[in-house]
Amino acid sequence: MFILHLALGGCLKAPPIDFGITADSGGHLAYVLDAATRQSTNPGVTAVSIVTRLFRDSHLPAEHRMPTERLSDTLTIDRIETGDDRYLEKEALAADLPAFTEAFCRHVAGLAVRPTLIHAHFADAAAVALEVRRRFGIPVAYTPHALAIDKRAQGLAADGIEARIAAERAAIAAVDALIVSTHDEADRQVRAYGVPVDGRIHCLPPGIPQRSTTAPATGLVDGLGQWLDHPERPIVLAIARPVAKKNLAALMRAYAADTRLHEQANLVILAGQHGGQSSPEERAILAELHTLAAQPLLRGRVALPPRHLAGDVTALYERAAAGGVFVNPALHEPFGLTLIEAAGAGVPVVATRNGGPAEIVPRIGHGILVDPRDETDVAAACLRIIGDPACHARLRGAALARHALYDWARYAADSVAVYRSICRRPALLACDIDHTLTGSSDGADAFAAWHRDAGMPFVVATGRAFAEARAILKSWGLPEPDAFIVDVGTRIMRRGADGGWANCAAYAGLLDRDWNRDAVASALAGLPIEPQPVETDGPHKLSFFGSARDAETIRRTLARAKLEARVIFSHGRLIDVLAPRGGKAAAIQAYAAGLGLTVADCIAAGDSGNDRDMLEQCGFAIVVANADAELDDLPDRTGLHRVTRRHAAGVVEGLETLGLASAPSRQAA
């Protein structure tokens, strides 16, 4: 399995990640990197690629201009150039999305081996991945990370929120699977979009963010004395981007308002990397934090370090574990990776009751949930833990005992199982003959060469009679199939033990049900519609020449007579009236069942109206470029491929798109 993660925003590079270096460089980067890293070691996973944008910015690390970073033998970060090499955020990134989509499609087309699936992170990546699915048939899983509809419900709406909600709704409706982190997301947030998701949504909690024990540090913890008068006191620790929804200023006000709290503990807030690529919102929040920290009451009690490295974060968690507390005061937190990270370090927590923490904290049992808008409640919860050694010890013990509930190995195994469930591999090819396999000698040769090497079961599904079908295949040098579905899907011819061909009696018996051939023939006898030669008829088929209007006349006539039949119009002039249980799709289903397969395991390839049912119902479908106009309204769907080449060369192109034929085959005319 080749897994491709697609994440467009933020500064994604090999560890250590520079969290907070830009407004979009948040916790989702840890999620993507840790998920991919653990998946890359799973049995059956051959490669994992994390794909993001390539950009060149003198203020950002040089890695972001590297086309590829290799993290291990099976894991890479691959960056896509779009022609705009600036670092882009939000609205600017949205404007670059069409260029990124085309560049990413070229990237996928040029890969020696195509991804088994794409796991998209956020709705912008999902839109790109869905276009790749349309062109190449690669399934898409989607993790939204932070759903805008819930931000709007929490009063956190910002410019562009409605467009983002629309993009998320489109992604939720179209993807093959959704992977979310909490039951609240699965049961409430996603369903608020009004899109059916039953059977497609999976709640897979992530693991604790992985930080190297040798990660570089600035010595921040040892140097807390530059900000704090009593650095030996326990700390109230918060780590979050300086944006309004993280509610950091409220935490500082809560701390300032509780005399007992700021006399017993110091406040340390890691609010991203100050300066640099900060957004206007971040700069405003940082200014507010610095103003609050400058109050005489708080001088020497609050640390707002302007810079930190990954090792500093690890050291601060260790410091907080010694009698302190970690606080997440966000107005709404989609998940809360810092809360499970704190648990892994044995740190009790005080957390917002809105969002993921409402599930995480009770599950681990390592803290207290609060109303983030009630500053008195926030301070009281911190003091309850810091001021009571027994309470602190109990919560610390729960953190150390139960943090393993959030485990990347479990996530990796479960996510790969989800991927496999949406990546069904085709196991049987069913092809029309006329104008699908025939029409180009080079294409026919390419198909014959594919068949020699493929080892995949192959049947033809044609409107012709058995003898004609065999003769045409032979005249074009096309391979003899494993079975013949003939007479527009009303007869299956199978090879017997003696090597001879025989009609499948079981299928014929199935078609007898609800079929009154004599009554149908009698009802149609008076219509001014020209019958085809009598030899084209069969026990479960009557055939005529006529127009689409004539086909509709036949349908109405049979409906008035209360007779069941299927009426199929094809090639602009042929009308077939079939037993109601007949047709190419029905015959493919019956044949596949004998192999232990379903139509979902089958590929159909065709060019006309009598192929429509199999093109609609088989799990995979190839519509060749020379297809009749009567297939123009065939709905696009996952697994359906409208190829650019004609006749059998188009069939081989479709097989190549599905990863079942090699690229050189496309040289066929």
The answer to whether 435 touches 626, Cβ cutoff 8 Å, is yes
Residue listed under structure tokens 């700390």: 235
Tokens of 278: 């900060």
pLDDT at 669: 41
Same domain, 105 and 167: yes
Same domain, 236 and 336: yes
> Which residues, including other chains, have CB under 8 Å from residue 268's CB and lie 6 or more apart?
224, 235, 236, 237, 238, 302, 303, 305, 316
Could you give the CA distance from residue 446 to residue 668 in angstroms, rounded to a whole number? 6
Same domain, 34 and 155: yes
pLDDT at 658 over 90: no
Give the angle subtended at the CA of 528 by the CAs of 527 and 530, to the nearest 5°: 105
Query: Which domain does 291 fall in, by range?
Result: 224-405
247: domain CATH number?
A: 3.40.50.2000
Query: Domain tally for the chain?
Result: 3
Q: How far apart are the first and last CA of the chain?
A: 32
pLDDT-above-70 percentage for the chain: 95
Tokens of 50: 């994390």
Instruction: State pLDDT tens for residues 598-643.
Output: 898 899 999 999 999 999 999 899 999 999 999 999 988 777 889 9
Q: How many CB atoms lie within 10 A of CB 318?
A: 13
Instruction: State pLDDT tens for residues 118-170.
Output: 999 999 999 999 999 888 878 999 999 888 887 776 666 666 788 889 999 99
Same domain, 156 and 253: no
Tell me the pLDDT band of 665, cut-offs 50, 70 and 90: very low
Boundary-marking domain end, from 405, 420, 444: 405
Average pLDDT in the 57-66 region? 87
Same domain, 242 and 374: yes
The answer to whether 623 touches 615, Cβ cutoff 8 Å, is yes
Tell me the pLDDT band of 281, cut-offs 50, 70 and 90: confident
Could you give the CA distance from residue 531 to residue 455 in angstroms, rounded to a whole number? 41
**Which range has the worst mean pLDDT, 148-157, 252-261, 398-407, 457-466?**
148-157
Same domain, 199 and 155: yes
pLDDT at 272: 79
Helices (H), 86-160: 90-95, 97-110, 123-136, 148-153
> Which residues, including other chains, have CB under 8 Å from residue 279's CB and lie 6 or more apart?
23, 89, 243
Same domain, 311 and 356: yes
Instruction: State pLDDT tens for residues 365-406.
Output: 999 999 999 999 999 999 999 999 999 999 999 999 999 899
Same domain, 111 and 33: yes
Secondary element (H or E) of residue 187: none
Closest residue by Cα to residue 600 from 572, 571, 560, 637: 637
Using DSSP's 3-state secondary structure scheme, residue 8 falls into coil
pLDDT at 361: 96
- The Cα-based distances of 386 to 235, 320, 357, 367, 402 in angstroms read 9, 10, 20, 12, 21
Secondary element (H or E) of residue 351: strand 349-352
Please state, rounded to an integer, the average pLDDT across all residues of the chain.
90
Residue 550 counted as domain residue = no
Closest residue by Cα to residue 664 from 343, 445, 518: 445
Same domain, 397 and 441: no
Residue 339 counted as domain residue = yes
Residue 489 counted as domain residue = yes
Instruction: State pLDDT tens for residues 516-555.
Output: 999 999 999 989 999 999 888 999 999 999 999 999 999 9
Write out the DSSP string of 391-456: HHHHHHHHHHHHGGGS-HHHHHHHHHHHHHHH-PPP-EEEE--TTTTSS-HHHHHHHHHHHHHH--
Interior/surface letters 258-285, b for 16+ CB within 10 angstroms, e for the rest: beebbebbbbbbbbbbbeebbbeebeeb
Integer Rg of the chain from CA: 32
Q: How many CB atoms lie within 10 A of CB 110?
A: 9
Helices (H), 304-374: 310-321, 337-344, 357-364
Residue 141 counted as domain residue = yes
Could you give the CA distance from residue 29 to residue 37 in angstroms, rounded to a whole number? 12
Tokens of 177: 């699977």
pLDDT at 255 over 90: yes
